[in-house]
Structure 1
Amino acid sequence: MSDDVWSYALKLYARPGVEPACLALQEGGADICLLLAAAWLGSTGVAFAASRMSELESTARGWREEVVVPLRSLRQRWRESAKQDAELASLRERIKQLELEAEKVLLGRLETVAKDWPRGEAKDLARWLEAVSAEAGGLRRDARETLRTAASLS
């Protein structure tokens, strides 16, 4: 189990099925950084509380809307054109790296919010993940379950 959220997120995201599960949940409205932070918190035994979830969401909201989403939107908008244009493909790849760096910053901010929350007190992984992915709806329950299973192996 990784002590920091970034290392944990990289390991979890690399597990089979996690990337498509996260992307499916993101498509349904969930925030991948919040999902990964929630998995980390649940895996480290942090007790779920609605107030804690609210604090995480509040921390994520501004950075996501001002930094991550604009970078992601630009990268996605350039997807098709970049297939025909090598220079644009190179720029798109740099945008992708910036987006990843922005997500790393966001995960660091979420970790800072949770730094004093006691570890090892609860087995609330499913509650954390459900709170983050609830807006993704019941159709994405299988994606949440994939993520929960992978995170429980940590």
Structure 2
Amino acid sequence: MALWDWTLEAYAQAGVPETCLTLQDEHGQNTSLLLWAVWAEAADPLLLARAADIARRWEALALAPLREVRRALKPAFEGVADGGREGLREDVKSAELRAERVLMEALEAITGPQGGAHALIALEAASKAWGKPAPADALAALAAALR
């Protein structure tokens, strides 16, 4: 199954969206990288380093700026109609989702055969490759939600 399709199915599982958001907002993780690592069963340090580099650069160029704008557009803005602001926010949200998909397509393109790593091992390896390892319990929560 293609990574994007797998990710949509994974995100539909109870607890996955909330756990991913916690890993992103509270622990500075790139959830696309984490989900890719589980899908790819990645444990190879060289592959993980390459994937983390791509994710880090794409996060800085596209994901973080779009996320910042989307979040900034959430509250009312004096002098701007709510409908217009909310419509723009939805457009930015769509662009942010597209940027996540582009990243996942790039990660899928560098993936060889599945690596055989259990979900938690892949998450720990990806978090370490990202450079800011998340707490073990937060990664374990995502691994459990992805079952």
Q: Which band: TM-score by shorter chain?
A: 0.7 to 0.9
Does the aligned pair in 2 maintain the 1:39–1:129 contact within 8 Å?
yes
CA distance in 1, matches of 2:121, 2:109: 21
Give the C-alpha shift of residue 131 in structure 1: 2.4
- Does residue 93 of structure 1 match 2:90? yes
Partner residue in 2 for 1:36 = 35
* Aligned-CA RMSD value: 1.8
Contact 1:25 1:136 in 2 (8 A): no
Kept in 1: contact 2:36–2:107 (CA 8 A): yes
Which letter maps to 1:123? A
User: In the aligned structure 1, how far is the partner of 2:49 from the partner of 2:127?
Assistant: 13
| Aligned residue in 1 for 2:68 | 73
CA shift, 1:142, in A, is: 3.4
Q: Could you tell me which of 130, 134, 140 is aligned with 1:145?
A: 140
**Aligned to 2:76, what secondary structure does the other structure show?**
helix
Q: Distance in 1 between matches of 2:54 and 2:109?
A: 10
1:132 corresponds to: 126
- Give the AA of the match of 1:89: E
Q: Distance in 2 between matches of 1:91 and 1:57?
A: 30
Kept after mapping to 2: 8 A contact 1:26/1:136: no
Worse-superposed segment, 126-135 or 53-62: 126-135
Q: CA deviation at 1:18?
A: 0.5
State the AA in 2 paired with 1:26: Q
Instruction: Report 1:108-119 matches (<5 A).
Output: 108-114=105-111, 117-119=112-114
State how far apart, in whole Å, the 2-side matches of 1:37 and 1:96 are: 21
- Tell me the equivalent position of 1:49: 44
Q: Deviations over 1:13-37 (max 9, x none)?
A: 1100000100000011100110110
1:16 corresponds to: 14
The correspondence for 2:117, drawn from 85, 102, 123, is: 123
Q: Does the aligned pair in 1 maintain the 2:127–2:133 contact within 8 Å?
A: yes
CA distance in 1, matches of 2:82, 2:72: 13
Moved over 6 A (4+): none
Separation (CA, whole Å) in 1 of partners of 2:126 and 2:23: 9
Are the counterparts in 1 of residues 29 and 134 from structure 2 also a CA contact under 8 Å? Answer: no
**Normalized against structure 2, the TM-score is what?**
0.86
Q: Structure 1 residues 23 and 66 mapped into 2: Cα distance closer, same or farther (>3 Å)?
A: same
TM-score normalized by the length of structure 1: 0.82
* Partner Cα distance (2:48, 2:5) in 1: 21
